[in-house]
Structure 1
Amino acid sequence: MRTSILLPLVKVTVLEDRALIERSGEVTLPQGATRLLVDGLPAVAVDRSLQAKLTGGMVTQASLRRSMRAVLPEALREQHTELARRGFEHEQALEQAQAEVRRLEVKRNLMQAARAEVLRAIAERTGAGEADPARWKEQLDTLRKEQTATDDALRQARRHEARLQRQHQQETRDILSRTERPEPTLDVRAELDVSHAAGGPATLTLTYLVPCAAWRPAYRAALRSTPEAATVTLECEAVVWQNTGEAWKDVTLAFSTARPTLGATPPRLQDDWLSLRDKTVREKQVVDVSIREEALQTTGEAGTTKAADALPGMDDGGEPVTLTATHKATVPSDGEAHRVALFAFTSPASSELVACPEQSPLVHRVARFDNTGPAVLLAGPVDLVREKGYVGRAQLKFSGRGERVKLGFGSEDSLRVSRQVDAGEEVARITGRRTRTQRVKLFVSNMGAKPADLAVEERMPVSEVEAVEVALLKDATKPAPTKVSEEGIVRFQLNLPPRSRQTVAFGFTVSSAAKVSGL
């Protein structure tokens, strides 16, 4: 026995480049084995991903079947619009021609009635002895000319109407022949062999994967500052694209960073031989070093740095994350971006003005706050908003729950920093020790009418070998830095009065032995 049913779509789990569709509904089954046909599946459904579950029964076999069916499709949007416009123009012209024919027929009837009235007046006036042949002749000539002209115009109008009627019928046949031509359509259905011991109602659940679907996280951060405190409200949304051929209407949406198709096979183990050798004469005499730029590989405030040529994707910190929408949503199959709200939270924040003169002469408003939301923050774009409105867009790095987050909320136009660098090098004649000195001068200006507290950050190298020493020049560094981190970040805390200018001096030395090369 075959039974054809339609299962409603209840849940969609969107992955990084595909989606897991779940359909579920109640079916009434007879006792014993039967075959169910589930219609209305998309053409892009992956055959090997089909799974079926039946409460109170058993599914012994599940597969997808595809068949071609000829249908009468609607015209394409552009073609339909053009044909409708042409049909409307023909109908308007035909209606005008028909109205002109009716007008001329009415005029001809009026002319005939007027001629009959003149002839009746001639008979009555002649019998009464009031004949006026000249005036009657003039009236009859005028009516004859008008009636002849009306008859000619009526014949032309009828010919024009008949021509438009034939043209309209031909155009209608042409439109039907072009828009009602059958074309093949692919129907996809799931064939399930199920068995139910007692028969009756049961819940059938069908899941399958589809391509042509993707999602990425997006955020909106609003900074609100008061004299007492500052807060950051962070809203998380999922931007969804799908062109699977089926509309997701009023479904529960879940968004996952799992990659189920990535290879999980461990690599084959091979022997790794270690050998010892004596150092060469050059290796005993020379220490090779180099200066390199290195990004800190941490999460949270420092962020995570990827290679420039990495494929675009989602950064979830290495652990799959699943986020669920707060309400049911509808996503049509149009390939356009649709936003779905996930969660939002408000966290106390610390706000300060920070300048990094080596990177930019601008001073930025930076806020730091804890991730007090219900889930981790995936890497994604964030729209920045302050009291006066939208200030720009930044990139939010991956942050775990409770982790510190750092965001910049635009620049302060009233503050500027100018930077000058002076570098020199000395070599000791006896020992050959090389000392390179770098002095930096920062000119900080406050052109506004209000005082400002500003943090200025500079950096100095960090040595990883004993043959190279890096030291801060305390005498050449004024004012004294408030903090020097292990990564070489030197921080100055300044208080700038209105319309004032301050100078910050900063210097360091890099000293290396004579056997060091590469600097």
Structure 2
Amino acid sequence: MRTSILLPLIKVTVLEDRALVERSGTVTLPPGPCRLVVDGLPAVAVDRSLQAKLTGGMVTQASLRRSMRAVLPEALREHQSELARRAFEREQVLARAQAEVRRLEAKHGLLETARRDILRAISERTGAGEADPAKWKEQLATVRQEQTAADDQLRHARRELGRLERQHIQESRDVLSRTEVPEPKLDVRAELDVSHAAGGEATLTLSYLVPCAAWRPAYRAVLGLAEAASSVKLECEAVVWQNTGEPWKDVTLAFSTARPTLGATPPRLTEDWLSLREKTSREKQVVDVSMREESLQETGEAGTTKAADALPGMDDGGEAVTLSAPHKATVPSDGEAHRVALFAFTSPATSELVACPEQSPLVHRVAKFDNTGPAVLLAGPVDLVRSNGYVGRAQLKFAGRGERVKLGFGSEDSLRVSRQVDVGEEVARITGRRTRTQKVKLFVSNMGAKPAALAVEERMPVSEVEAVEVALLKDATKPAPTKVSDEGIVRFELSVPPRSRQTVAFGFTVASAAKVAGI
């Protein structure tokens, strides 16, 4: 026995570059084995990913079958909508208008040929001495009258044809392309061999993978400033694209960072040989060092830097994360971006004005808050909003639950920091010890009418070898820094009165022995 059914789509789990679709419904089965055919599957369904489950029974075989559907033009015309029928009638009117234009153009060509024949006859008869001016005048007047009438008719016909093309036909085609999906030519169905001992009603669940679907996280952060306490409201959304051929209407959506194909091919193992050798004479006498930029390899507030050979995709901290939408959603199969709300939370925040003059003369409003949401924060773009509206877009790094998050909410136009650098170097004549001195002057300006509390951050090198010493010049540093971190970040906390200017001096030395090379 063979039964054809339709299973409604109930859940979709969107992965990074594909989606897992789940259909489920109640079917009535006879006792014993039978064959079920599930129609209405998308053409891009992956055959080997098909899985079927039957409550109270067993599925012995499941496969996908594809077949081309032969649809006759008469059948299509019979089931056309009212809009399609009106468009067909307008197509007929357009065809008649085009035929009329062609007829008038042919008539115009015949009249032009007749006029040329008359003129040729006049020249030939005049040369032969058989002139008949009255007859020729009548013939030319008749042809000219017919040409004038034909030209007027042709001009009106062309104007009418242009009006039909602009107002009627093009409009109907645009409306049809946006409102009516063309008839599919490929039928995809799942054929299942099932067995149920008692028969009756049972729940059939069908799942399969489809390509042409993807998602990425997106955020919206709203900073609320208050004298007592500030807060940040963070809204997380999933931006979904899908063009699988089947609309996801009122389904439960889940979003996962899992990569089913990751690790499918084992890595190639190569031999790694270690050997010992004596140092060369130059290596015994010279210490090679170099200056390098290094990012802090932490999550949350400090941010992360992805390795150059890392796989493209979402940053989930190395562990697969699944986020579920709280409400059912609809995502049409149009390839456009659609936003689905995931969660939102409000967290107490600390807000301050921070300037990094080495990077930019602007002063930025920076807020720090804890991730008190129900899930981790994946890396993604975040729209920044303050009380005066949208201020820009930034990149949110991966942050775990309870971890500190740092976001910048635009610049303060009334504050500026200008930077000057003076570098000098001395070499001791006897020992050859080199001392490189760098002095920085920062000019902080407040052009506003309100006082501001400003934090200025500069940096100095950090030595990893004993042959190189880095020291802060306390006498040349005014005012005294509030904090100097182990990573070499020097922080000054200033109070800037309205319409004022301050100067911050900062300096350090890098001393290296004579045997040090590279700096």
Scaled to the shorter chain, the TM-score interval is 0.7 to 0.9
Render the CA deviation track for 1:208-253: whole Å, top value 9, x for unaligned.
Answer: 0000000000000000011100000000000000000000000000
| Range moving further from structure 2, 266-275 or 248-257 | 266-275
Flag the 1:5–1:447 CA change in 2: closer, same or farther, 3 A: same
- Give the structure 2 partner of residue 432 of structure 1: 432
Partner AA of 2:243 in structure 1:
N
Render the CA deviation track for 1:423-442: whole Å, top value 9, x for unaligned.
Answer: 01111111111111100000
Q: Distance in 2 between matches of 1:81 and 1:353?
A: 65
Q: Distance in 1 between matches of 2:468 and 2:278?
A: 24
Q: Does 1:301 align with 2:301?
A: yes
Flag the 1:82–1:308 CA change in 2: closer, same or farther, 3 A: farther
Q: Does 1:406 align with 2:406?
A: yes
- Give the structure 1 partner of residue 119 of structure 2: none
Task: Report the Cα offset of residue 12 of structure 1.
Answer: 0.1
Flag the 1:81–1:496 CA change in 2: closer, same or farther, 3 A: farther
Q: Does 1:473 align with 2:480?
A: no
Q: Does 1:495 align with 2:465?
A: no
Flag the 1:489–1:84 CA change in 2: closer, same or farther, 3 A: farther
- Give the structure 1 partner of residue 350 of structure 2: 350
Q: Distance in 2 between matches of 1:267 and 1:439?
A: 51
Q: Does 1:513 align with 2:510?
A: no
Alpha-carbon RMSD across the aligned residues, in angstroms, is 2.7
Q: How many residues align?
A: 434
> Any conservation in 2 of the 1:70–1:184 contact (CA below 8 Å)?
no
Partner AA of 1:380 in structure 2:
G
Render the CA deviation track for 1:320-340: whole Å, top value 9, x for unaligned.
Answer: 000000100000000000000
Flag the 1:460–1:202 CA change in 2: closer, same or farther, 3 A: same
- Give the structure 2 partner of residue 139 of structure 1: none
Partner AA of 1:22 in structure 2:
E
Q: Does 1:189 align with 2:189?
A: yes
Identical pairs, percent = 84
- Give the structure 2 partner of residue 34 of structure 1: 34
Partner AA of 1:476 in structure 2:
A
- Give the structure 2 partner of residue 482 of structure 1: 482
> Any conservation in 2 of the 1:68–1:184 contact (CA below 8 Å)?
no
- Give the structure 2 partner of residue 221 of structure 1: 221
> Any conservation in 2 of the 1:70–1:183 contact (CA below 8 Å)?
no
- Give the structure 2 partner of residue 360 of structure 1: 360
Q: Distance in 1 between matches of 2:303 and 2:471?
A: 28
Flag the 1:281–1:68 CA change in 2: closer, same or farther, 3 A: same
Gaps of 5+ in 1: 93-163
Partner AA of 2:276 in structure 1:
L
- Give the structure 1 partner of residue 389 of structure 2: 389
Q: Distance in 1 between matches of 2:25 and 2:508?
A: 73
Task: Report the Cα offset of residue 296 of structure 1.
Answer: 1.1
Q: Distance in 1 between matches of 2:360 and 2:184?
A: 61
Q: Give the SS at the match of 2:11.
A: strand
| Range moving further from structure 2, 214-223 or 79-88 | 79-88
Partner AA of 1:277 in structure 2:
R
With normalisation by structure 2, the TM-score equals: 0.80
Render the CA deviation track for 1:468-498: whole Å, top value 9, x for unaligned.
Answer: 1111111100000000011110000000011
Q: How does 1:3-152 map to 2 (within 5 A)?
A: 3-71=3-71, 72=73
Flag the 1:184–1:222 CA change in 2: closer, same or farther, 3 A: closer
Flag the 1:25–1:234 CA change in 2: closer, same or farther, 3 A: same
Task: Report the Cα offset of residue 267 of structure 1.
Answer: 3.7
Task: Report the Cα offset of residue 313 of structure 1.
Answer: 1.4
Q: Distance in 1 between matches of 2:194 and 2:465?
A: 71
Partner AA of 1:485 in structure 2:
S
Partner AA of 1:516 in structure 2:
V
Flag the 1:221–1:64 CA change in 2: closer, same or farther, 3 A: same
> Any conservation in 2 of the 1:37–1:190 contact (CA below 8 Å)?
yes
Q: Distance in 1 between matches of 2:255 and 2:369?
A: 25
With normalisation by structure 1, the TM-score equals: 0.80
Task: Report the Cα offset of residue 82 of structure 1.
Answer: 7.8
Q: Distance in 2 between matches of 1:83 and 1:419?
A: 72
Render the CA deviation track for 1:266-297: whole Å, top value 9, x for unaligned.
Answer: 54555433221110001101111111111111
Q: Distance in 2 between matches of 1:410 and 1:183?
A: 51
Render the CA deviation track for 1:290-324: whole Å, top value 9, x for unaligned.
Answer: 11111111100011112568664100000000000
Q: Give the SS at the match of 2:40.
A: strand
Q: Give the SS at the match of 1:40.
A: coil
Q: Does 1:284 align with 2:284?
A: yes
Render the CA deviation track for 1:57-115: whole Å, top value 9, x for unaligned.
Answer: 0000000000001225699xxx99986655577999xxxxxxxxxxxxxxxxxxxxxxx
Q: Which has the larger radius of gyration?
A: 1
Q: Give the SS at the match of 1:34.
A: strand
| Range moving further from structure 2, 243-252 or 297-306 | 297-306
Partner AA of 2:349 in structure 1:
A
Flag the 1:83–1:362 CA change in 2: closer, same or farther, 3 A: farther
Q: Give the SS at the match of 1:48.
A: helix
Gaps of 5+ in 2: 98-159
Q: Give the SS at the match of 2:284.
A: helix
Q: Distance in 2 between matches of 1:395 and 1:486?
A: 26
Partner AA of 1:216 in structure 2:
R
Q: Distance in 2 between matches of 1:270 and 1:41?
A: 46
- Give the structure 1 partner of residue 456 of structure 2: 456
> Any conservation in 2 of the 1:451–1:498 contact (CA below 8 Å)?
yes
Q: Distance in 2 between matches of 1:387 and 1:217?
A: 24
Q: Does 1:232 align with 2:219?
A: no
